Amino acid sequence: KQEVTQIPAALSVPEGENLVLNCSFTDSAIYNLQWFRQDPGKGLTSLLLIQSSQREQTSGRLNASLDKSSGRSTLYIAASQPGDSATYLCAVKRADSWGKLQFGSGTQVVVTP
Amino acid sequence: EAQVTQNPRYLITVTGKKLTVTCSQNMNHEYMSWYRQDPGLGLRQIYYSMNVEVTDKGDVPEGYKVSRKEKRNFPLILESPSPNQTSLYFCASSLDGLDYEQYFGPGTRLTVT
């Protein structure tokens, strides 16, 4: 059974520092992995999607890497800003069940001015 | 504006009283899905639909029903709600459910007393 873990559950960084968020999964047979952002009381916003054949994906200050063999993905946010404060979730799509998406429990990020 | 809409946004009901939460998307997406989010348990998938008249169970389908009679709509039905179905519910859609990112609705907060 696939398990998706995000550690730490929360972190606080000063503005300007780079953010490094981790996502681990136990079964390397994934189809793709997606990173989301969730603001309090709001829905999820997709940030990046990495296919299993890709090593990384970039969008602006965001960069996500994927190492399928070790069961890890990392989301890097460069030069963090207070507006980056949110909960970040990763989700994996299983290769054996395309319609299913399995989420990690998220990392709550606070960027202090 | 491309969006996923859910109604109602907030609902308080009593045990056993049937209810329906509607979900609609205007992006002509093939894939739609329902999730529930609970503290400590994260986001879990209830049901998903790869196309009209095609639905399948997620990880926590017990106590829920869905139907997909039109591409744009994917209602979630609770025939006999119970207090353990008190949760925050999200609907999501994607172009094909495989290679494209999922777009989430704003959420429906349901309380069953």
Spell out the per-residue pLDDT of chain A, length 113, in tens.
Answer: 889 999 999 999 999 999 999 999 999 999 999 999 999 888 899 999 999 999 999 999 999 999 999 999 999 999 999 999 999 999 999 887 778 889 999 999 999 99
Give CA–CA dist A33/A50, Å, rounded: 5
Instruction: Provide the token pair at A50.
Output: 């990495």
Task: Please tell me the predicted confidence (pLDDT) of residue B80.
Answer: 97
Task: Please tell me the predicted confidence (pLDDT) of residue A107.
Answer: 97
Task: Please tell me the predicted confidence (pLDDT) of residue A17.
Answer: 97
Render pLDDT for B72-105 as a digit per residue (tens, 0 to 9).
999 999 999 999 999 999 999 999 878 888 999 9
Does residue B92 sit at the A interface (CB-CB below 8 Å)?
Answer: yes
Task: Please tell me the predicted confidence (pLDDT) of residue B40.
Answer: 86
What are the residues whose beta carbons fall under 8 Å from the beta carbon of A59, sequence distance 6 or more? A47, A48
Interface of B with A in 11-70 (CB under 8 A): 31, 33, 35, 40-45, 48, 50, 56, 58-59
> Helix count (H) and strand count (E) of chain A?
0, 11
